[in-house]
Amino acid sequence: MAAVFREERGRLLAALVRRFGDLDLAEEVTSEAIEAALVHWPVDGVPPRPGAWLMTTARRKAVDRLRRDQALSTRLAILRVEADRADPSPPVGVDLPDERLQLFFTCAHPALAAEDRGALMLRFLAGLTTPEVARAFLVPRETMAKRLTRAKKKIHSARIPFRVPGADELPSRLPGVLQVLYSIFTEGYAASAGPSLQRLEVAEEAIRLARILRRLLPAEREVAGLLALMLLTHARRDARTGASGELLLLDEQDRALWDRAMISEGAELAAVALTGGPPGPYGVQAAVAALHDEAVDLASTDWAQIVALYDVLMALGPSPVVAVNRAAAVAMRDGEAAGLLLLDELAEEPLLRSYHPYFVARADLLQRLGRLDEAADAYRTALSLAGSEPERAHLRRRLA
């Protein structure tokens, strides 16, 4: 039954934050309302409008709490409660108004520490508990509790607003929200440390959040692009690791294990992202992922098209990481030597010094060119930088 509340929890919390302007208060009464439901519903039956029942219960508890303990409460919240009592009728027509969009923008606010934004989203929008959020980011529970407390304090004390940016601000604020979602996804897709390469439940939370955001902002093509990119990447999850959990690259993966339903959903969304205006970076990355997913093997992949998409991506925002991917695609289109030339040009790039995929790409090309000693050197450098154990196992296997 607790799982049923995952979805409700985020909506309820967002609606309460909107009403009371206080994250702590909203969090406490949301939990209390859900606890009350767990006691009453099994006995009395699930009410016809569960969301409205939870909202009414939570609001009543908020009013009680503020009355009981005036010292704890903020003046702002008291004012909201006064207004709330004057107008106690729940909105007609919808079970629970969806105010989560405001919360997305609050959690991803640039005034918050970058590392706290994803944690806030998992806690307040995905409805994870603090220990679950801690596990998602592989940090001790106490550390995560402190970080969440610090972030909430900043939201409250600096009065970071709960609002959706206006149309003029949206282009500058939306990429921040998407970036937070994508960073949660990549933490699940390629864990930065630890025994497993993928943590599917973390990637799936990111997909779930991206689906919510897509429903809330249906006209924003980059939201479609991000969701497409996640789906087209996640579709390969079962093929990405071998029998002993080691990482398998595209050329080693059993493509029969790829999730076809997820690929077609992702491809449709990618088409949406690329239609009706200049493409954004997530839409373009989704298109690259779609080309991989739709190819039967590495050789028949449309590398020319992939190189062209990386050119678009470089034009949108030059990045050494994109340049590495582009070089690998050029190697497939024009041969290893051409790719290696491009990688060598990037050797001085400071951002790539600690980026192990750069050395993996280099090692791979050197190996295919028969320059085995240099390849082994590059693998060793990559191994000294790689994050999770399966990635390291993969590199050790290549080195051997």
Partner 1 sequence: MKYMLLINAGSVEDQGCEPGEWMTFDKEVREAGVFVSGESLADLVTATAVRVGADGARTVTDGPFAETREVLGGFYVIDVPDLDVALDWAARCPGARGAGSVVVRPIADF
Contact residues for partner 1 (CB under 8 A)? 109, 111, 157-161, 163
In the complex, what is the shortest distance from the CB of residue 88 to partner 1, in angstroms, rounded to a whole number?
Answer: 26
Alpha-carbon distance of 37 to 5, in angstroms, equals 10
Q: Which is nearer to partner 1, 112 or 180 (CB)?
A: 112
Distance CA 379, CA 178 (A): 33
CB of 5 to partner 1, least distance (A): 30
Sequence-separated (6 or more) residues with CB below 8 Å from residue 9: 30, 34, 127
User: Hey, CA dihedral for 247, 253, 256, 258, is it positive or negative?
Assistant: positive
CB of 147 to partner 1, least distance (A): 19
User: Given the complex with partner 1, which of 159 and 397 has the nearer CB atom?
Assistant: 159
Least gap, CB of 173 to partner 1 (angstroms)? 10
CB-nearer residue toward partner 1: 73 or 325:
73
Which residues lie closer than 8 Å to 193 by C-beta, 6 or more apart? 138, 387, 388
Q: CB-wise, 165 or 242, nearer to partner 1?
A: 165
Between 160 and 375, CB nearer to partner 1: 160
Cross-strand pairs, 247: 241
3-class secondary-structure state, position 387? coil
Question: Which residues, listed in sequence order, are joined to residue 241 by a DSSP beta bridge?
Answer: 247
The secondary structure of 92-139 as a DSSP string is SSSSS---HHHHHHHHT-TTS-HHHHHHHIIIIIS---HHHHHHHTT-
Using the minimum distance from each CB to partner 1, give the nearer residue, 158 or 347.
Answer: 158
Contact 320, 352 (CB under 8 A): yes
The CA-to-CA distance between both ends of the chain, in Å, stands at 50
Name the residue nearer to partner 1 (CB basis): 70 or 244: 70
Count of beta carbons in the 10 Å neighbourhood of residue 186:
16
Q: Would you say 400 and 392 are in contact if contact means Cβ atoms under 8 Å apart?
A: no
Do the Cβ atoms of 32 and 143 come closer than 8 Å?
no
Cβ atoms within 10 A of the Cβ of 168, count?
A: 7
Cβ proximity to partner 1, 165 vs 387, nearer residue: 165
The minimum distance between CB 163 and partner 1, in angstroms, equals: 8
Rounded Cα–Cα distance for residues 64 and 149 (Å):
24
Q: Of the candidates 134, 114, 234, 132, which has an alpha carbon nearest to the alpha carbon of residue 183?
A: 114
Q: Which is nearer to partner 1, 166 or 277 (CB)?
A: 166
Q: Show the CA angle centred on residue 348, arms to residues 247 and 366, nearest 5°.
A: 45
Q: How far is the CB of 194 from partner 1 (least distance, A)?
A: 36
